Chains A and B, each alone.
Chain A
């Protein structure tokens, strides 16, 4: 079965500095990987995903993520953080054929605080 880990409960970054939110995964086959963001009292919003192709995936709001198969990681990054990026971020994974499972499993979430 697939699993995903977000090792940091909270990440603090000064505004204007680069940010990284870490995610590692475990699957039997090849992964589909996702990042979502949740603002207070709201549902989750899709940021980006990796299915295949280039290891560097660009998404919404200037975020990008790098797929690293050897390290089984999919870290979320942004070159210059904004205060409005403060939110809860979730990494998610789905396994792919031939070990296909239709479930998408989420990490526990990382709270990102951007300090003015």
Chain B
């Protein structure tokens, strides 16, 4: 199993450009999450999904859109990138409910995005 993979690993954008980050998991997990990590801010939840075809807003959803057309994929889109979106983006997946002893979140390796 590859676990959780993210594409691309690095990207540099100019202000106003758009891009899509792809997250894929091969563990048949129901839940998927997008976080951003900034120095001194920890991980902040952008959007998440509780199953195929569903999405929900997290703590910092503005400026981002997501789609979960297939269970194994969770896409994060930036329609018009801004310098404030310079960050490291992490995708994660888990089973529901997290209350079972065997359940936890699995994280991807991250995507480092710079917006100039």
Interface on A for B, CB 8 Å cutoff?
A: 6, 9, 32, 34, 36, 41-46, 49, 51-52, 90, 94, 96, 102-109
Contact = CB atoms under 8 A, between A and B. Distances in A.
Interface residues of B, number: 29
B55 to A, nearest CB: 12
A46 B104 contact: yes
A108 to B, nearest CB: 4
A31 to B, nearest CB: 11
Q: Is the interface of A mostly helix, strand, loop or mixed?
A: loop
B42 A46 contact: no
Contacts of A46: 104-106
A32 B48 contact: no
A52 B100 CA distance: 10
Interface in B1-48: 4, 31, 33, 35, 40-45, 48
12 contacts: A43-B108, A43-B109, A43-B110, A96-B99, A102-B56, A103-B48, A103-B58, A104-B33, A104-B45, A105-B59, A106-B44, A109-B42
A36 B98 CA distance: 15
Which of B4, B40, B44, B107 is the most central at the interface, judged by chain A CB atoms within 10 Å of its CB? B107
A102 B42 contact: no
Contact of B43 (A51, A90, A102): A90
Nearest to A110: B42
